[in-house]
Amino acid sequence: MASTSDMETTNPGSIWELDKDLDVPMDEEASRLKNMYIEKFSSVLLLRLAFQSLGVVFGDLGTSPLYVFYNIFPHGVDNDEDVIGALSLIIYTLTLIPLMKYVFVVLRANDNGQGGTFALYSLLCRHAKVSTIPNQHKTDEELTTYSRQTYEENSLAAKVKRWLEGHAYKKNCLLILVLIGTCTAIGDGILTPAISVLSATGGIRVQNPKMSTDVVVIVAVTILIGLFSMQHYGTDKVGWLFAPLVFLWFILIGSVGAFNIHKYNSSVLKAYNPVYIYRFLRRAKSEIWTSLGGVMLSITGTEALFADLCHFPVLAIQIAFTLVVFPCLLLAYTGQAAYIIVHKDHVVDAFYRSIPDAIYWPAFVIATLAAIVASQATISATYSIIKQALALGCFPRVSVVHTSKKFLGQIYIPDINWVLMILCIAVTAGFKNQIQIGNAYGTAVVIVMLVTTFLMVPIMLLVWKSHWILVVTFLVLSLMVEFPYFIACINKVDEGGWVPLAVAITFFIIMYVWHFCTVKRYEFEMHSKVSMAWILGLGPSLGLVRVPGIGFVYTELASGVPHIFSHFITNLPAIHSVVVFVCVKYLPVYTVPVEERFVMKRIGPKNFHMFRCVTRYGYKDIHKKHDDFEKMLLDRLLIFVRLESMMDGYSDSEDFTMSEQKVERSANALLMSEKAGSNTLCSGSDLSYSSSHDSIVLAKSPLTGNNSLTRYSSQTYGDELEFLNSCKDAGVVHILGNTIVRARRDSGIIKRIVVDHLYAFLRKVCREHSVIFNVPHESLLNVGQIYYI
């Protein structure tokens, strides 16, 4: 007869597994979640998604014809060959960069449908240990959204992975590269509304030549103020208009372009011969950099094409670009060139002057609305970038408002919105013309493109496992096109190109300082965490009076007892009867399914009543206002205790059955492992908790003593459940560690300014964790400590 103690000795070494039949649907569900971004779509649905992508993805790229030729020829046109050469440059730049590089190569590097610089960085962080905050655990890799590759020992990908992981400076260089791309993309969010709206409203002067430039600027500023002021409403109610409007815009510019080719000069079609590029560059030596900077504006919005990918299938984007966007843009630029050859003095307003008088004002309205849609897409992309930077510890905590009940990705960040509005108005009113804003715009776009090119190299090696010859070919071809444009834009720094550089440098300093001090705080927590031996030496009372209640202690550590807890119990005479260490961390995945978000485990013996809850989020996940974080934590704690008691009652050899209803509700939420005497459980929000034992029915076992074991486990479980409920009724307190970072006295003056003043200011103006997680103020307890770096 096996005694209870014998059974208890056996159980800690065993793993509680679901029946083999129950594993099948869970595996299928996991496979579906992992591959949902490559799900096959019907032809009709694919065409519908391609149409919808026009309003989200291509607005910025589509409004470029408003201002390109004026920026190529700011001093006028000398001869027809220059126009044909510039057009040839535009044609092949559109072909090589947006079409070949982005649409058919870079878009494939999306992170489960998410695009942009941080999406590429997240992919790299999953495939190599390059994150500067090493807070990941092996259990994180079991997430259904955590896809990664495995490598052979001597493969090129394995060698690249080891090289990247070899030294800390390589990780920092990679992070700096990502931050540069991110910060210049934010600059893009300032300049796109400025140049698009100003260029569109400039059409007023074409029909009224005596009108002052100030009037156009005032109209543009008024539209921009209205655009930014309406952001908090979101685009859920009017978003359905974007795709038809942008589609109408592309049809308009394509039709007008075809009309102008037929009416003015069809010989302009010889620009499709690339030899005219060589002739143009050879002839325009003195103005080559000015012209290249203008041509660069023809592909503005290309990076937004990748950043605004959202959840559109790559194939839908490819269809929309190749069938609608690309041919309409070619017709638009070719038609403008044909018009300019005949009317060389109209290059300043070539777009509007080339429109037939009969449709001029409808075209003006459509152009203005298209510019607003393009601006909206860029502003939304900027919000998304800030949200991703915040999640990866690279930006101060700011308020993120969810503006749509249907679409998770539609967010609004009030603080960033007003900053963007002020800077956008300052640029519009300060420059007052397209030339200087265009110079600034081109600089921002080409830097982001170069960053994407460099990030694609490790992506192709580690994620795609491409042959090194293909990687080198991609790098060389991209740099051959982009580097001359980069030189052209840098040469215009004193003519407006300094604006995106100033914005990028400002945001880079903010991001890097915040990330640097965040890493130092995490290292301090890691090196000063309390040993379990010290905790066990205190005994179940922890050396204090255990008062009724539950204390949630927030920490950045996913393992171990934080130093703030020892600071707490050495300065206060009492501690709560139940202590739960809560770690909220973000992973390099776009989202963590709700059913896999929480990981619970017990710390120490049961009579210590100490637990840990690791709450995991992806960089697209949002803390909603109506979410009751405290209730979710309490629910997970009760579920964990319940299922832990169920596991203690069974060994691997025992037969058991679970009711179908409970299996359906919990099979996808349970992932249990056991190591070092502690049980881990991933619990889901859709699990309901009940104090009854209906969810499990024992089959008769040949093992004797099983009934006594069951009574023992049930009694223990019931006692702990009653204890937890009584502590819950007594009150819940949220204990937040307020770690103040200071520079050491022997630090240099720059470090003291950065840490003691700049970081302290950012900490002061950013939101507290208690606000983000909707912690009641009366239940909040801050415990402060100072850390010198």
Spatial contact of 686 and 670, defined as CB atoms under 8 Å apart: no
Listed residue (25, 462, 413, 428) closest to 193, CA to CA = 428
Tracing tokens 């300082």 back to the chain, one arrives at 513
**What's the pLDDT at 376?**
86
How far apart are the C-alpha atoms of 326 and 318, rounded to whole Å? 10
Any idea which of 240-254, 460-474, 562-576, 695-709 has the lowest mean pLDDT?
695-709
706 or 536: which carries more pLDDT confidence? Answer: 536
Tell me the mean pLDDT in the region 445-459: 93
Q: What is the pLDDT of residue 244?
A: 92
Structure confidence at residue 572 (pLDDT): 74
**Residue 515 is encoded by which pair of tokens?**
């990330």
Which comes out higher in pLDDT, residue 546 or 713?
A: 546
- The chain-wide mean pLDDT, for the chain, equals 80
Q: Give the lowest-confidence range in 159-163, 227-231, 479-483, 621-625.
A: 621-625
**22: CB partners within 8 A, 6+ apart:** 658, 663, 667
Query: Is 2 a residue whose pLDDT tops 90?
Result: no
- 643 or 513, higher pLDDT: 513
Cα(674)–Cα(316) distance, rounded to whole angstroms? 45
- Distance between CA atoms of residues 640 and 638, nearest Å: 5
**Mean pLDDT calculated for residue range 687-698:** 32
pLDDT in tens, 274-325: 999 998 888 776 678 888 888 999 998 888 888 877 667 889 899 999 999 9
What pLDDT, on the 0 to 100 scale, is given for residue 4?
A: 37
CA distance linking residue 328 with residue 257, whole number of Å: 8
Domain ranges within the chain, ordered by starting residue: 54-517, 529-646+724-788
Comparing CA positions, the residue from 563, 524, 552 lying closest to residue 742 is: 524
pLDDT digits (tens, 9 = 90+) for 622-652: 776 667 788 888 888 888 888 887 766 544 3
Two tokens, residue 516: 């640097």
CATH class assigned to 54-517: mainly alpha
Least confident residue range of 21-25, 122-126, 152-156, 732-736: 21-25
* Residues 106, 172: Cα–Cα separation, whole Å: 24
Model confidence band, residue 332 (pLDDT cutoffs 50, 70, 90)? very high
Dihedral sign (CA 256, 258, 261, 262): negative
Q: In the chain, what percentage of residues exceed pLDDT 70?
A: 82
Give 363-375 pLDDT, tens digit per residue: 999 999 999 988 8
pLDDT at 696: 31
Mean pLDDT for the stretch of residues 723-737: 86
Whole-angstrom Cα distance, residue 417 to residue 382? 9
Mean pLDDT across 750-758? 89
Contacts of 511 (CB under 8 A, 6+ apart): 179, 182, 183, 389, 394, 395
Q: Residue holding tokens 């020992």?
A: 153
Under the banding of pLDDT at 50, 70 and 90, the label for residue 710 is: very low
- Express each pLDDT in 226-246 by its tens digit: 999 888 887 666 667 888 999
Three-class SS state of 774? coil
Q: How many CA atoms lie within 13 A of 157 on its CB side?
A: 17
Residues 176, 165: Cα–Cα separation, whole Å: 16
Binned at pLDDT 50, 70 and 90, residue 146 comes out as confident
φ/ψ (deg, to 5) at 238:
-110, 0
Single out the residue of 322, 326, 315, 307 nearest to residue 451, CA to CA.
307
Judged against a pLDDT cut of 70, whether residue 494 lies above it is answered with yes
Assign 100 a pLDDT band (cuts: 50, 70, 90): very high
Alpha helices in 58-128 (DSSP H): 59-62, 68-72, 80-94, 117-127
94 or 348, higher pLDDT: 94
Confidence of residue 770 (pLDDT cuts 50, 70, 90): low
- The two tokens of residue 14 are 């065993």
Alpha-helical regions (H) of 264-298: 275-283, 288-296
Tokens 């997240």 belong to 122
pLDDT top residue among 484 and 690: 484
| Both structure tokens of 386 | 């800030």
State the maximum Cα–Cα separation within the chain, in Å, rounded to a whole number. 105
User: Each residue of 413-434: pLDDT tens digit?
Assistant: 888 999 999 999 999 998 887 7
pLDDT for residue 203? 86
Instruction: Quick: pLDDT tens for 453-470.
Output: 999 999 999 989 899 999
Looking at residue 666, its pLDDT comes to 41
